[in-house]
Amino acid sequence: MTDLLQRLRDTVAAHPERTAVIAGADRLDFAALDRRTADLARALRALGVGRGDRVGVHLARTVDLPVALLAVWRAGAAYVPLDPAYPAERLAFMAADARLAALISADGLPAAEGVPVLRPDVADLPDAADGPDVADLPERAHPLDPAYVIHTSGSTGRPKGVEVARGAVAGLIEGLEATGAFRAEPGVVGWNASISFDASVPQWTRICRGDTVLVIGEEHRADPARLAALLAEHAVTDFDLTPSHWELLREPLAGARVPRLFMGGEAVPERTWRELADGGIDALNLYGPTECTVEAVTTPISGPGPHLGEPMPGVRLYLLDEKLAPVADGVVGELYLAGPGLAHGYVGRPGLTAERFVADPFGGSGDGRRMYRTGDQARRGAGGLLEYVGRVDRQVKLRGFRVELGEVEHALARLEGVQAAAVTVHEPAPDDRRLIGYVTGGVTPAELTERLRATVPAHLVPSAITVLDALPLTPNGKVDLAALPVPAAGADPASDPGADPSSAAGTSADTAERAGGLADQVTEVWSTVLGMPGLAPTDDFFSLGGHSLAALRVVHLLRRRLGIELQLRHLLDSADLAAFTATVEQAVRAGTAAPRPALTARAR
């Protein structure tokens, strides 16, 4: 396989004036990208950074971000993504866990004390010119040299850093090219994923093969209407997203040319599969854990219902029982993956690495004869199609994020006043899965939620927390998860004898019509999305368990129902339900938006 930096050098030589990166109003062509990455790599080398070192990258979503990532590679090191959106405590742990040799940051990172810091624009560094000449930078990386360390949720309460090799990333790109997922001609790629999410890797690294990468800023990532407009403005040809994100983006994309969709991060629901397949939308279903370099299995979203497809080139896939024997077709087994795409393991955790990366008794003498135990269950269904069934442990996928319920429990239990904690997943409506926390102690849900947001990323904060006198236990003394009460947010007012129908938000459009008021319709939408009846004008959306995707659902339900121009910021800026209702009333008075036509597949 060809080293990605060599592919980048080839592109720079052949197409120096082609646009490489777009971020907001900023653009870099390949010649400028080459100069900037070389300068920053020289500055890193001047600090003593070299082969095998780890460099933290703590930057906003600007042109500086891909420059920094490529510079780390050109210096011979591996990057450690430190998303500025993460809480300071989380960033501190990841920086210490990775043992950074240097940090690239525009504003520093207090957690990384003692680590030398470089700004992404090295022109301001007085010693930048004192570094090695460009010719002294490593020309090639060994395939086993580390490329990055990405931290994932850990069942013991500690995030674990997955270290992936350069050759594995190069193999990922070549595998996606070989399957036809990446077209031969250059395209415009929307970089949508967080840098701390492994799905970002096959997005930003497409620079190396000559594609133009559009870095999508936070303001567009959080607003489907603006995002759809941005994709159209730049004629984006390829776009990665989760099925949950598609549910919010599909309406703003109606009438536009839909890019090729790379859908992953969570299982594709039946209705989403059918919509894309029947609508002729060019879309791929991708499956693969971080430990196997992002993607391992892919298939077009077409034909029969949801399935995983077949392994990519170089990937070996096994369905095994508890004794590591292959299961027959139609029988559920645990999915194991093997091949050169396997990660080195977990940084500083040899025991966990040995537990998850086990000996491969079936082949693969060229890659250490290891296979990775994914914890996912699957089977060969009708026609031999590989179907995802579920998990063998307490790991879940929510809105594209891998979540270990044990980590959330540990985070809750650490908070002052909490005596014990348990976390489950509740599904108040089909494909609307939410984290629910249960605690004991002299605490309130509101204070716990506020304190938890300061310690863990947003996707690890439960949508609702219930305080109990005691956690129910099984006869052997373990928490009886099945006996935990259904959260109040999932209550059905029709089944609650204490609920007042006149004060509860309705469960259908008919209720809103009978009420006849705009306020009732806004309240109903909040109630539907949150799964919570009886809302008051002073209620705060996020204190009731709302999250960013739930907020987007509210905005788009109201846009569709009322035909108004409404943005996510209108909900984010509202102190409570009453304030948001006033904003909606203003939008109604301002006029309505034109109806949107059906989805259209992009011409190939």
Residues 468 and 509 in one domain: no
Q: Is residue 91 part of a domain?
A: yes
**pLDDT tens digit string along 18-64?**
999 999 999 999 999 999 999 999 999 999 999 999 999 999 999 99
- Which is more confident, 105 or 222? 105
Range of the domain at 557: 502-590
What is the pLDDT, as a whole number, of residue 224? Answer: 85
Residues 451 and 512 in one domain: no
Give CB contacts under 8 A, 24+ apart, made by 570-574: 571/541, 574/541
Lowest mean pLDDT, pick from 295-304, 409-418, 532-541, 571-580? 532-541
Please, which residues have CB within 8 angstroms of residue 280's CB and are 6 or more apart in sequence?
A: 601
Last residue of a domain, one of 253, 284, 315: 315
What is the pLDDT, as a whole number, of residue 392? Answer: 85
Please, which residues have CB within 8 angstroms of residue 315's CB and are 6 or more apart in sequence?
A: 175, 292, 296, 297, 337, 338, 339, 341
pLDDT at 549 over 80: no
Last residue of a domain, one of 298, 315, 332: 315
**What amino acid is encoded at 332 in this protein?**
V
What is the pLDDT, as a whole number, of residue 270? Answer: 86
pLDDT at 550 over 90: no
Cα 324 to Cα 496: distance, rounded to the nearest angstrom = 49
Output the pTM of the full model: 0.77
DSSP 8-state assignment for residue 224: H
Q: For residue 261, give the CATH number of its domain.
A: 3.40.50.12780
Highest average pLDDT, of 169-178, 470-479, 518-527, comes from 169-178
Residues 37 and 144 in one domain: yes
Highest average pLDDT, of 178-182, 517-521, 546-550, comes from 178-182
**274: enclosing H helix or E strand:** helix 270-278
Residues 483 and 507 in one domain: no
What is the pLDDT, as a whole number, of residue 494? Answer: 28
Cα 386 to Cα 299: distance, rounded to the nearest angstrom = 10
**pLDDT tens digit string along 224-281?**
888 999 999 999 999 999 888 888 888 888 888 999 999 998 888 888 899 999 999 9
Print burial letters for 423-451: b (CB count within 10 Å at least 16), e (below 16). Answer: bbbbebeeebbbbbbbbbbebebeebbeb
Last residue of a domain, one of 315, 335, 354: 315
Q: Is residue 78 part of a domain?
A: yes
Residues 483 and 515 in one domain: no
Cα 397 to Cα 113: distance, rounded to the nearest angstrom = 34
Q: What is the mean pLDDT of residues 110-122?
A: 81
Q: What is the mean pLDDT of residues 118-132?
A: 61
Instruction: Report how many domains make up the chain.
Output: 3
Q: For residue 519, give the CATH number of its domain.
A: 1.10.1200.10
**pLDDT tens digit string along 134-150?**
556 766 789 999 999 99
pLDDT at 493 over 50: no
Residues 574 and 452 in one domain: no
Tell me the percentage of the chain whose pLDDT exceeds 90: 50
Highest average pLDDT, of 348-357, 439-448, 521-530, comes from 348-357
Q: For residue 439, give the CATH number of its domain.
A: 3.30.300.30
Residues 473 and 522 in one domain: no
What is the pLDDT, as a whole number, of residue 592? Answer: 47
What is the pLDDT, as a whole number, of residue 396? Answer: 83
Q: Where are the alpha helices (DSSP H) in 189-223?
A: 201-204, 218-221
Q: Is residue 345 part of a domain?
A: no
